[in-house]
């Protein structure tokens, strides 16, 4: 997962950095970051793309821990409530939040080629939408912004493949 929450391109935070921050945030909020919650967060933070609850369950069970779907979903609910993960609604999956220290509305850019998910903060746009909604008496309680397309690596690979095919048909 990549991040541009601060408006500039940047490298994603490492899983270890996210884990350390998650532990500190839970502690400062008086919340228990139990070993199972930590393990589930670690699985999500280390993933190369969005993780479904059942993929997370498989990873947890592969370590020898006996868990069922309700346990996984309770942990995911906790991680979402603490703003440590984002739910990718269109995929029914989860990604680690790159900036869990502050609650924010973000937009998720999902590559349909490789599954990479980038997080961008949508603060300015959301402020405008919230003001417009308020003018008509509407209060926004939840926002999901997901955009599907191709990341730069997949676009380059596709263009390379297309140019190779053109050369082969001419030859």
Q: Report the percentage of the chain scoring pLDDT > 90.
A: 60
| Number of structural domains the chain divides into | 1
Cα Rg of the chain (Å, integer): 19
Residue 91 near residue 50, CB atoms below 8 Å: yes
Residue 71 domain boundaries: 2-170
Domain CATH number, residue 50: 1.10.10.10
Longest dimension (CA), the chain: 68
> Quick one: average pLDDT of 47-72?
93
Q: Which two tokens stand for residue 120?
A: 């961008």
What pLDDT score was predicted for residue 66? 87
What pLDDT score was predicted for residue 164? 74
Q: What is the pLDDT of residues 66-84, one digit of tens each?
A: 889 999 999 999 999 999 9
Q: What is the pLDDT of residues 105-137, one digit of tens each?
A: 778 999 999 988 888 876 678 888 889 999 999
Q: Report the percentage of the chain scoring pLDDT > 70.
A: 88
């Amino acid at each position: 997962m990549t991040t541009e929450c601060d408006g500039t391109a940047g490298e994603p935070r490492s899983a270890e950095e996210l884990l350390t921050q998650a532990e500190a945030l839970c502690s400062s909020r008086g919340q228990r970051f139990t070993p199972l919650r930590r393990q589930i967060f670690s699985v999500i933070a280390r993933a190369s793309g969005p993780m479904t609850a059942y993929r997370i369950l498989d990873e947890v069970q592969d370590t020898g821990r006996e868990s069922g779907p309700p346990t996984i979903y309770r942990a995911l609910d906790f991680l979402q409530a603490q703003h440590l993960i984002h739910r990718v609604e269109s995929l029914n999956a989860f990604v680690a939040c790159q900036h869990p220290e502050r609650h924010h509305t973000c937009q998720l850019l999902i590559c349909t080629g490789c599954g990479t998910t980038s997080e961008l903060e949508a603060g300015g746009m959301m402020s405008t939408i919230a003001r417009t909604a308020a003018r008509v008496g509407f209060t926004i309680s939840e926002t999901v912004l997901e955009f599907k397309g191709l990341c730069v690596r997949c676009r380059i690979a596709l263009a390379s493949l297309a140019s190779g095919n053109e050369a082969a048909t001419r030859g």
